[in-house]
Amino acid sequence: MSTTRTLPVIPLRGMVFFPGMVAPLFVGRPRSTAALQTARRDHDGQVILLAQINARENEPGVADLYDVGCLARVDRIAQMPDESVKVTVEGICRVQLQSLDEGDDHLVANVIELQPSTDESLEAELAALVKRVRQAFEQFAEMSRRIPVQKIAHLLSIEDPSQFCDMVAANIGLKVGERQQILAKVELLPRLIRLVELIEAELEVAQVEQRIRGTGRRRSEVTAETVTTNAQGEDVDEFKNEMAELARAIETKSLPQEAKERLEREFRKLKMMNPMSAEAGVVRTYIDWVLSLPWGEFSEDKLDIKAAQKILDDEHYGLEKAKERILEYLAVQRLTKGQGKGPIMCLVGPPGVGKTSLAKSVAHSTGRKFVRISLGGVRDEAEIRGHRRTYVGALPGKIIHALKKSGTSNPVILLDEIDKMSMDFRGDPSSALLEVLDPEQNEAFVDHYIDLDYDLSKVLFLATANFLQAIPIPLKDRLEIIELDGYTELDKLQIAQQYLVPRQLRDNGLADLKMTLTEEALTTLIRSYTREAGVRSLERQIGAICRKTAREILSTKRKRKRIKIDAKRAKKLLGVERFTDKPSEQEDRVGIVNGLAVTAVGGDLLHVEVAALPGKGKLTFTGKLGDVMQESVQAAMSYVRARAAALDLDRTFYEQVDVHVHFPEGAVPKDGPSAGIAICTGLVSALTRFAVRADVAMTGEVTLRGRVLAIGGLKQKVIAAHRAGIRTVIVPQDNQRHVDDIPDEVRKDIELVFVEHVDDVLRHALRLDSPEDFLKQPMTFSRDYLGIYAH
């Protein structure tokens, strides 16, 4: 649903501004200057840019402005000697003018943001049009020679079709009215079609000009010299103006001494070059990049700990460890008066638990600018450190781009998906990050393109990853790891009620209908329609219910003030349940044990089935087991053979029976040592014919001596047992220190039995007449028992 916004307006003469475009503007008219001040003071720098129909009009009104413009953000302001103002502006999105008010001292517009729709059926047609535009643009740039080589390379590197279309339209010398036609077309398909028509028309003009130049060379020498002199005179005047502007910028910009000396040297070199040469374009681009960086410009930190905590709590449920570490950083910054070095925190956890959105909240709570760098699939070292200027089309790396985009030297930079980088013949980007993420080295970070020391020590770097093992060890050593567990069922319920449902109601136009999803409905979505560690799928299912409800409302044409979705209604809307909880055994059975496991989407019940059959001592294990789990089966069998006498088994029992250990759901890979005591319990039960208690689940690694070792993921496993209706869980004694991680509402319903030895496990897990007398005989490896006799 589109929303109307009210923002100040700056009219543009002879220029159309596009979304994604970053360019300087000179603001000199009093009303435009007043609009700029209002935008900076009251609207976080946001302003509406509307092109003038008549550029000669000094005080334009509604009839003098086009009705489609660009919402933009003002990044930097510089006062010029002639009392005008130079601002750097970044386009955000298209807007449609609804009304225009003269205001007290500047124009004020009511606008609606315009966003193109997506239609997958048009992908092939769009791709063909984009390819046609690229080819025409390359041909036009080669013939006209009016666009610098670096600008051509940059434009051709843009992958987003919408942004590519806009940037080409802004750089091929179209008239204001023609550029406005491109801006006014919101949908990408008609925009590309119109751009193809315009660029091919410009290409024809360029071809005619080329033929005329060829004809002119064959005319008399005097005429050619006269024409060339006039043209060069115009170019010289424009070049002189540019040089004067650059000289003022270098003089007024607050730069380190090394950077100022480098720019002055490059500027002297540029003045001696032919302004139309490719080398001049390279030098000019370099100077522009250095001047655009926020040298010594810092945003003021908000160091109010209570306010920051409230922001973090309002925007995210749970994630206590991550929040606590962020608040500790703010406390240190306050005590050190902002001189503390920025930590390098890495949030590690499964998809959908809120890592990226938490980083945005950090920027919000600290009052800093936020920039996200996606590292997924990055394979080139130059993506991080930039290309050297000797290469054609060289540009700075992602770190310098992020600093330029933020406009400050102390932003929050999110290195997203740091575990998804790879390496090839172009280098290892993770190695390039070592300098960036080392607080002892990043005070003098050097990008290959800029080739100047830049201080990154005040930048707050945050990284995200799904798998800690995928991060290279040297890089991991520089990161402060904060692990985010998957959400429990109760966590998901709270998140859905507080965040997901209100957002989906608002996004689907149902906020005014007072629609509610009951707690039972949300629990059904969590258990039966999603199986994940985070909440992305849960939000999609809530969105699906909202969309189906919206369609029903419009189909019946009956307006209802209140709509209540219960569990039954949710199932009817979403169809057949996708998942069912794995129930625990209802009766005590021989050889069947409730084990516990951790998967990518949280804890789960892991049944272990053991059968002892007449045979010749063959041990079989099935269920797609990994090497570690196969070794657990063998270790458990060795323990049972060592305890044969105490278990009242014949010492050669293993030669008379075949033992089969099976894990159901055989298509699902399983691995890890934590099923050791469950396997051992199943073996003893199958061989001794004592039934295993159906209301008990267990987890723990077993050794040959029967010791029970600690395991990971205790919280998720206990929650899985609680969900399956189990009330007693056997866990290793060494895991007692992790009990505080288990939610209180789960802990009060579960009895945790801590054990150090398998003998204790068997006494609690098997249905015995006198468990206190079971396995009282100590475990020994006697020579008599082994059949070894001294000679």
Q: How far is the C-alpha of 679 from the C-alpha of 683, rounded, in Å?
A: 6
Residue tagged active-site, from 185, 674, 685, 715: 674
Output the CA torsion sign for 600, 605, 609, 610.
positive
User: Is 577 in contact with 528 (CB distance < 8 Å)?
Assistant: yes
Q: Secondary structure of 753-775 in the HEC alphabet?
A: EEECEHHHHHHHHECCCCHHHCC
DSSP string, 225-237: HHHHHHHHHHHHH
Residue tagged active-site, from 185, 405, 476, 717: 717
Burial zone of 662 (CB within 10 Å; 0-12 exposed, 13-18 middle, 19+ buried): middle
Q: How far is the C-alpha of 357 from the C-alpha of 621, rounded, in Å?
A: 44
User: Is 398 in contact with 373 (CB distance < 8 Å)?
Assistant: yes
Residue 277 annotated to the active site: no
Q: How far is the C-alpha of 231 from the C-alpha of 684, rounded, in Å?
A: 98
DSSP code of residue 575: -
Q: How far is the C-alpha of 700 from the C-alpha of 755, rounded, in Å?
A: 9
In 10 A of CB 704, how many CB atoms? 12
Annotate 270-292 with b (16+ C-beta within 10 A) or e (fewer).
beebebeeeebbbbbbbbebbbb
Torsion-angle region of residue 4: left (phi > 0), alpha (psi -120 to 50) or beta? Answer: beta
Contacts of 634 (CB under 8 A, 6+ apart): 619
Q: How far is the C-alpha of 49 from the C-alpha of 73, rounded, in Å?
A: 10
Position 338, amino acid: G
Can you list the alpha helix ranges (DSSP code H) found in 345-393? 355-366, 382-385
DSSP β-bridge partners for residue 46: 73
User: Is 443 in contact with 457 (CB distance < 8 Å)?
Assistant: yes
In 10 A of CB 666, how many CB atoms? 12
**SS3 of 119, please?**
coil
Distances from the Cα of 14 to the Cα of 73, 77, 141, 165, 667, angstroms = 20, 21, 22, 20, 66
Q: How far is the C-alpha of 17 from the C-alpha of 167, rounded, in Å?
A: 10
Q: How far is the C-alpha of 715 from the C-alpha of 721, rounded, in Å?
A: 10
Q: How far is the C-alpha of 776 from the C-alpha of 648, rounded, in Å?
A: 12
Among all chains, which residue has been given the structure tokens 């413009």? 69
Q: How far is the C-alpha of 165 from the C-alpha of 18, rounded, in Å?
A: 10
User: Is 402 in contact with 373 (CB distance < 8 Å)?
Assistant: yes
Position 482, amino acid: I
Nearest-CA neighbor of 432 among 486, 475, 388?
475
Q: At what angle do helices 149-156 and 123-144 cross, to 10 degrees?
A: 180
Q: How far is the C-alpha of 15 from the C-alpha of 235, rounded, in Å?
A: 20
Residue 582 annotated to the active site: no
DSSP β-bridge partners for residue 73: 46, 90
Q: How far is the C-alpha of 25 from the C-alpha of 47, rounded, in Å?
A: 13
User: Is 486 in contact with 602 (CB distance < 8 Å)?
Assistant: yes
Q: How far is the C-alpha of 501 from the C-alpha of 564, rounded, in Å?
A: 13
Q: Secondary structure of 526-543 in the HEC alphabet?
A: HHHHCCCCCCHHHHHHHH
User: Is 653 in contact with 612 (CB distance < 8 Å)?
Assistant: no
Q: Which residues does the annotation mark as catalytic?
A: 674, 717
